[in-house]
Amino acid sequence: MVRVRFAPSPTGYLHIGNARTALFNYLFAKKNNGRFILRIEDTDIERSKKEYEDSIMEDLKWLGLTWDEGPDIGGPFGPYRQMERLHLYIDFANKLLSNGLAYRCWCTKEEIEKRLSESKQQKAGYDNYCRNITKAEIAKLQAEGRKPVMRFRVPEKQIVVNDIIRGTVIFESGTLNDFVIMKSNEIPTFHFAVVIDDLSMQITHVIRGEDHLSNTPKHILIFEAFGYTVPHFAHMSMTLGKDRTRLSKRHGATSIRQYRENGYLAEAMFNYLALLGWSSKDNQEIFTRDELIKQFSLEGCNKSNAIFDAAKLLWMNSQYIKMKNSKEIFNLSLPFLEKAGYSEEQLKNKREIIEKVIEIEKDKLKTLLDIPERTNYFITENLIWDSEIAKEYKKPETEQILFEVKNLLEFVEPFEKSKIEESIRNYCQEKNLKTGDVFHPLRFALTGQKKGAGLFELIELLGKSLTLKRIENFLTGNRP
């Protein structure tokens, strides 16, 4: 069975690049009827935080990337956590030690740097000093109270990585120093913990970022030291900004959490992330989840870096909004409406109208964050107009037009779009006025905005009473 894992460190919110890695693992597992496992790599004690772990899991669930197992097998909760598995790493490290494949190193950082600076070889990193020290030397170091780390004894051999995406990559072990696998506090290093986890969880495919390719020789050596079959590796291209530098805050939002808070839909994010570094044979852009699972393959991943385009994601989000009905969009937008200050009672009373506004505005909506702005003039009884913009329409001739339109609308029956439009257009013809001279000030008086839903649809939705009240308040300068 195909078994893959996503292994984030809880030292920050879920980054776009890491979410893409999780997504590719998920798609590959589902395509092959395999299992997708979540593992929290929390051995960085100082930087790891519970709030980040919780956030990562929430964001994965929001994206629909639910994992298939955890410590409570069959349960809906719980990823594996490395800090809960320390005994396992210690046991495996001791096996290497007893077989002569690892050794304890007592050197301080300062001693290593001093020897390197004095060495004629000028080889960077550790100089394997403690590989063959005597028992007497060890006893002396112990007497000094030193706490050793444990290092892996790197053999002299060629290491071949048969990467599904990158092809064959060859490393010479001579480029590697004996690296630390257990720290002096008996917490494993990344290189050791990740391999022990992968072999104990029977991971068949390691799908991760290209920045880990240089770590792979170390991991292969550890797998081989224990006699385990090395998993298949697939190193994905990096996720870069449009300037082709590593995606960072200068490019805007970089975490899934930020995009959630900015009103993006999970389906749109899922679809867009799948297209970062992978494409279908016919260059299709909009996919259902099932279509992506069916078509995805690691062989279809590009070697070149994936360029994250926020504008393209925004476009895709707007397409997904268009595909939803107004009831769905209303339900999804509730947190944003509540954050904008609208009470539960207001939203309950105005739900039908808001859904109608959403239907009218759907083609213009980019994110759910647009909805409070687009609907606020239907929810708020007493409108407040921007004084600077209002000056454009506070002219005697414009106020006269609004006064006459108000009187006209008072007698429109039934108060429906077609009758409203007919009456106002007839007024423009009779007075020999350009429609813009009437429509623009009327829209601003009714909504406080220069643009928005179709004028006659919004007048019908506002209703006669509120329409007349808004125009009257605007003309008289009444404020709530």
Q: How far is CA 303 from CA 166, 210, 237, 298, 375, in A?
A: 7, 9, 6, 11, 45
3-state secondary structure of 421: helix
Strand-pairing partners, residue 150, are 104, 182
Residue 62 C-alpha from the chain's centroid: 10
> Beta 205-209 vs 306-307: how paired, if at all?
unpaired
| Residues contacting residue 16 through CB under 8 Å, at least 6 positions apart | 239, 247, 254, 255, 256, 273, 308
Buried b (16+ CB within 10 A) or exposed e, 315-341: ebbbebbeebebeebbebbeebbeeee
Measured between alpha carbons, how far is 168 from 165 in angstroms, rounded to an integer?
9
What is the full DSSP assignment across 48-61?
--HHHHHHHHHHHH
Q: How much of the chain is in helix, strand and coil states, percent to nearest 5?
A: 55, 10, 35
Do 50 and 81 touch, CB atoms closer than 8 A?
A: no
Q: How far is CA 381 from CA 36, 333, 346, 376, 431, in A?
A: 51, 20, 10, 9, 31
Helix axis angle, 396-409 relative to 455-476, nearest 10°? 120
| Active-site annotation holder among 50, 249, 281, 348 | 249
Is residue 249 part of the annotated active site? The answer reads yes
Measured between alpha carbons, how far is 339 from 297 in angstroms, rounded to an integer?
41
Residue matched to tokens 């669930």: 61
| Residues contacting residue 399 through CB under 8 Å, at least 6 positions apart | 393, 475
Dihedral angle, C-alpha 250, 251, 256, 259, nearest 10 °? 110
Single-letter residue type at 293? I
Measured between alpha carbons, how far is 265 from 269 in angstroms, rounded to an integer?
6
Please report, in angstroms and rounded to a whole number, the separation of the first and last CA atoms in the chain: 66
Q: Give the residue ranges of DSSP H helices in 8-108.
A: 16-31, 50-63, 86-98
The catalytic residue positions are 249
